[in-house]
């Protein structure tokens, strides 16, 4: 792997190594992608206070997320088709996260199944659940996550219907890719990816195939998936899922203070301020812009986490300063995975950890748990 100085270096490398339809799936948003872009750029509008002549020795980034010790306030977000960025991608990312001392979250729409990850890693992981029309399938998913000893359930609330993602439509996204002429031509330029994929048996949605009734091949899987996201999702569903799960529950996709209040009343352990990476409602607030109002509304009642646009350790510390207990990274680790497999994800985490540590020191602090709004010099998103 060439010299890597930042997550952007990994993004460029991943773009060269990952087939176009899967790179575009990770690195894109809905409609005009304005919210997708704002997730990143809005972090740059927040300015930090530099402090000098303070003791910077003996720094620590150790914290907790939902009461679980973490080496830094960061987790790997649930991302669909992770195993198409690199063969066995979910397993490799989970291993890298375990080595770094941070949680890994497996998506319902993963390529490697719950059982695949549990059997090939030595650390507990979190599982993300979508609410499907097929309630029996959802209950079985929850039970499978329990059997795999997943330590938290992340329930995604903002995908009742699928946002319009133009790149996926143009690319004819499928997993595995259909052997069309454009796909064959593109795959021919990605020999390393193809060779790795030939060596694995994990090439489709293994949490679904063989588990959902009537899903026997790629065609039936595609049809089942397209009709399964439940537009009737309600807070009653949250209660039902919470009761069946019985463990730590995180609600993902909160972007409005009124919804945050309802989430706090639901009995969940935490919420994730998230706009699904800008992949659902284009024109919505960026996650970091929405964070302060949500913290003001419920920060004393429920743990607040966030995701969306985090590409550096500086982004992490800004989110923490604005009230997030921790952040999730999605695209940042996918870039690392596409660039170099497990080693690439490890490099992503090393880069972010180093940036976070240096930034904290230059802001005059030694303990991440003491970071608060005092390190912010300028915040256009402050609650007035």
Active site residues: 276
Find all residues with CB under 8 Å of 65, minimum gap 6, and list them.
73, 75, 103, 270, 303, 305, 325, 326
How far is it, in rounded angstroms, from Cα 52 to Cα 47? 16
The annotation status of 331 as a binding-site residue, yes or no, is yes
Burial of 55 (0-12, 13-18, 19+ CB in 10 A): exposed
Find all residues with CB under 8 Å of 265, minimum gap 6, and list them.
none
The annotation status of 107 as a binding-site residue, yes or no, is yes
The annotation status of 308 as a binding-site residue, yes or no, is yes
The annotation status of 51 as a binding-site residue, yes or no, is no
Using alpha carbons, list the distances in angstroms from residue 382 to 25, 284, 318.
32, 17, 12
The annotation status of 80 as a binding-site residue, yes or no, is yes
The residue among 24, 79, 96, 131 whose CA lies nearest residue 328 is: 79
The annotation status of 330 as a binding-site residue, yes or no, is yes
The annotation status of 25 as a binding-site residue, yes or no, is yes
The annotation status of 252 as a binding-site residue, yes or no, is yes
The annotation status of 78 as a binding-site residue, yes or no, is yes
3-state class (DSSP) for residue 304: strand
The annotation status of 237 as a binding-site residue, yes or no, is no
The annotation status of 116 as a binding-site residue, yes or no, is no
Per-position DSSP letters for 140-154, written without gaps between them: HHHHHHHHTT-SEEE
The annotation status of 276 as a binding-site residue, yes or no, is yes
The annotation status of 274 as a binding-site residue, yes or no, is yes
Cα angle value 177/178/180 (rounded, 5°): 120
How far is it, in rounded angstroms, from Cα 60 to Cα 51? 18
How far is it, in rounded angstroms, from Cα 285 to Cα 38? 8
Binding residue numbers: 25, 78-80, 107, 128, 130, 156, 165, 252, 274, 276, 279, 307-311, 330-331
Binding residues for glyoxylate: 25, 165, 276, 279
- Summarize the annotated binding site for FMN as residue ranges: 78-80, 107, 128, 130, 156, 252, 274, 307-311, 330-331
């Amino acid at each position: 792997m060439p010299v890597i100085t930042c997550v952007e270096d990994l993004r460029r490398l991943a773009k060269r190594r990952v087939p176009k339809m899967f790179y575009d799936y990770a690195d894109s948003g809905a409609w005009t992608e304005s919210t997708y872009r704002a997730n990143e750029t809005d972090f740059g509008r927040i300015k930090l206070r530099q402090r000098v002549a303070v003791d910077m020795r003996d720094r620590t980034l150790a914290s907790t997320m939902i009461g679980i010790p973490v080496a830094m306030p960061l987790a790997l977000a649930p991302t669909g088709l992770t195993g198409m960025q690199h063969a066995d991608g979910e397993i490799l990312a989970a291993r890298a996260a375990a080595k770094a001392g941070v949680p890994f979250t497996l998506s319902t729409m993963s390529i490697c199944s719950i059982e695949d990850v549990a059997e090939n890693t030595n650390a507990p992981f979190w599982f993300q659940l979508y609410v499907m029309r097929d309630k029996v399938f959802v209950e079985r998913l929850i039970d499978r996550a329990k059997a795999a000893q997943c330590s938290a359930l992340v329930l995604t609330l903002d995908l009742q219907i699928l946002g319009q993602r133009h790149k996926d439509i143009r690319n004819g996204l499928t997993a595995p890719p259909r052997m069309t002429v454009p796909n064959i031509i593109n795959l021919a330029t990605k020999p390393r990816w193809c060779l790795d994929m030939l060596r694995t048996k994990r090439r489709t949605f293994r949490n679904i195939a063989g588990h959902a009734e009537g899903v026997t091949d790629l065609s039936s899987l595609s049809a089942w998936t397209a009709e399964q996201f439940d537009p009737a999702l309600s807070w009653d569903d949250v209660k039902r899922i919470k009761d069946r799960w019985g463990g730590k529950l995180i609600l993902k996709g909160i972007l409005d203070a009124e919804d945050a209040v309802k989430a706090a009343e639901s009995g969940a352990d935490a919420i994730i301020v998230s706009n699904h990476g800008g992949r659902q409602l284009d024109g919505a607030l960026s996650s970091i812009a929405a964070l302060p109002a949500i913290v003001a509304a419920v920060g004393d009642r429920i743990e607040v986490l966030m995701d969306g646009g985090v590409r550096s350790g500086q982004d992490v510390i800004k989110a923490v300063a604005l009230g997030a207990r921790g952040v999730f990274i999605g695209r940042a680790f996918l870039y690392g995975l596409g660039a170099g497999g497990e080693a690439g994800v490890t490099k992503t985490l090393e880069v972010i950890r180093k940036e976070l540590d240096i930034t904290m020191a230059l802001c005059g602090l030694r303990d991440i748990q003491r970071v608060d709004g005092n390190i912010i010099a300028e915040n256009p998103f402050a609650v007035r």
